[in-house]
Amino acid sequence: MNKRHALYLAAGALALPLVAMPALAQGAVASEWRWLTFTVFAAIIGVTMFVTYLAAKRVKSVADFYTAGGGVSGLQNGWAIAGDYLSAASFLGIAGLISLYGYDGFMYSVGWLVAYITVLLVIAEPCRNIGKYTLADILAYRNDPKKVRVVGAISVITVSTFYLTAQMVGGGVLVKTLIGIDYEISVIAVGILMLGYVLFGGMVATTWVQIIKAVLLVTASILLVMFVWLPYGFSLPAFLQAAIGDTKVQAQVATLLGDASKNMTAAELGQRFLEPGLLFKAPIDQISLGMALVFGTAGLPHILMRFFTVPTAQEARKSVIWAMAIIGGFYVLTLFLGLGAAMHVGAANIRAVDAGGNMAAPLLAQFVGGGGDSFLGNLFLAFVAAVAFATIVAVVAGLVLAAASAMAHDLYVGVIRGEHVTPQEQVKAARIATVIVGAMAIAIGIAAKGQNVAHLVALAFAVAASANFPCVLLTLYWKRCNTGGIMAGMVVGTLTAIGLVLVSPNMTYPKAIKAAAQKVVEGAPARAAALNEAKSSGDAAKVAKAENDLRALDAGVAKARDDLKRLENDNTSLVGLEKPLFELKNPGLISIPLGFLAVILGSLLYRDRRAEEMWDELYVRQNTGILAARAQAH
């Protein structure tokens, strides 16, 4: 028992940066409060497990497993879409970006909502009208089923795996930072829990887990915002004025701007927090990412799949409207969460626990409840931590279901068995595929420990926007589109998006890192001298700052030395490059037009009578829903 205790303590200590600062005791959940976090975790897991138990009784056919039998209402599906979409990256990540960079963080959140306009206008209803279980079902409607199922399934599995890896690794790191559980244990816990939901409860349980998570997430956010905003009588200008008048916010702006801030007054520094440019320096990259979001969401298999769970196109429409209200409302709330964390917790304290700012919302919760020593503060933190955990599990469940359906329904049933499969075999195949994908998710999660996977979400969106979106859009709306176009679009879209990222600045370039490290090491003595001089200036504030900076300098030099040693014999990136071939971090700007071009050229160069003969049927059905509603009435 003692040993285990020590282990927990050690893990908890590891979760905190090693620099001993008093603020860190409040960083993640303190060990004496961990039982509280586990209690809240247990309560949420208990409720979701109970729901899974109820759902399992209702999952009999393969349609129940993949699409909850099409019996989900528009309102329920709207919440489930929000639960499927609002990953930990948007809950914790965007609040964190706002807390550290102000305006730019908020601007970043906009694209995630606008994406749903594309889904609403051109994707949701047609897909409901002609689709069945998977993205490839839509492509197979008028094209060569086997061929498009193969490329469609590969693309779906690729997108889902990128997204899944980011969620598993991000989730593992998050749980570790929050409560100090070992990374591997938390990855396995997320994986097994998710497998439990999906395997036994299929889409019914997944839907409810996503709904519960979305309700918890929105409730937690509203409560936090009430606490943060109430003191200002719910006045937006008064709240913003307080945020930018805070010295911690002003100090953060000064740090970000560096020398450029020398002649700025405190008020100007604060106001600068509400202006663009503190985070994003490359507008073209922003636009490229925006394109991937706005067109990629409509090609995300786990989002697309949600539209097969509602009975009619009208319910599909209603569900997007609800999802947009929930998702958009949530992002507006994150503005308050981020700014609240910036003024109450402070960028320095947020960064001390997690450099990416992911702990902004949890730390704000703790502050609002009364701080790290209070019961309420720790209860709030425990609640937010548990919501974050539920968030990861719900998103992962949706992703696994999407990947498993592509594997079982498209590849196994559609291609390998040529649709000659009994209903029982289909359910069995779906469950086996779920176990395979789930095990894969756990294995990848553990293997990718310590890797920077943040850009994998952007890559998933880029592939979805460059391959899936052009194919789905053109098969639905362009008569001449055919099998050749789908094959070309899927292959070109996927490969260019991935290829461009492999040669982009996202990869690690040892030479550049070594050069930067060399510079830090060489510049250290001069900088140390300057700081030491400031230390002896006598001004208390300056001395404190200089001491802090000196500590940071020491850490920086140590890291630089470490980098130099680690990369001593390493000169090229993963694909053998010394420097990026392609300057954009987000490939969308190039790969999305290429994906469209490939579908168009592929279609024009390929003759496919069936695709043209089936056009009338597909186009009439996708527009009117003839036969779609009736199929549900059986």
Tokens 């609403």, residue located? 120
How many other C-beta atoms are found inside a 10 Å radius of the C-beta of residue 386? 24
Residue 420 gets the label, from left (phi > 0), alpha (psi -120 to 50) or beta, of beta
Question: Sign of torsion, CA 122 125 127 130?
Answer: negative
Based on CB atoms, which residue is closest to another protein, 574 or 627? 627
Cβ contact 481:604 at 8 Å? no
Based on CB atoms, which residue is closest to another protein, 311 or 372? 311
Least CB distance to another protein at residue 76 (A): 17
DSSP state of 466: I
Least CB distance to another protein at residue 250 (A): 13
Based on CB atoms, which residue is closest to another protein, 168 or 342? 342
DSSP state of 55: H
Based on CB atoms, which residue is closest to another protein, 374 or 632? 632
E strands, 165-220, are none
At 114, is the secondary structure helix, strand, or coil? helix
Cβ contact 441:198 at 8 Å? no
CA distance 194 to 390: 10
DSSP state of 26: G
- Report which residue type is found at 232: Y
Token duo for residue 561 = 């030395």
Least CB distance to another protein at residue 322 (A): 10
Least CB distance to another protein at residue 628 (A): 9
Based on CB atoms, which residue is closest to another protein, 315 or 563? 315
Least CB distance to another protein at residue 422 (A): 21
Based on CB atoms, which residue is closest to another protein, 120 or 209? 120
Token duo for residue 133 = 């279980």
Least CB distance to another protein at residue 474 (A): 14
**Positions that interact with another protein (CB under 8 A):** 103-104, 106-107, 110-111, 113-114, 116-118, 120-122, 125, 236-238, 240-241, 244, 270-271, 274-277, 280, 283, 286-287, 290, 294, 314, 317-318, 320-321, 324-325, 328, 331-332, 616-617, 619-621, 623-627, 629-630, 633-634
Least CB distance to another protein at residue 355 (A): 24
- What are the angstrom distances between the C-alpha of 305 and each of 118, 301, 309, 432, 480? 16, 6, 7, 19, 26
| CB burial of residue 348 (10 Å; 0-12, 13-18, 19+) | middle
Least CB distance to another protein at residue 278 (A): 11
Least CB distance to another protein at residue 114 (A): 4
CA distance 513 to 506: 13
Least CB distance to another protein at residue 344 (A): 17
Residues recorded for the chain:
634
DSSP string, 324-372: HHHHHHHHHHHHHHHHHHHHHT-HHHHHHH-TTSTTHHHHHHHHHHT-T
Based on CB atoms, which residue is closest to another protein, 449 or 621? 621
At 275, is the secondary structure helix, strand, or coil? coil
CA distance 26 to 349: 10
- Report which residue type is found at 281: K
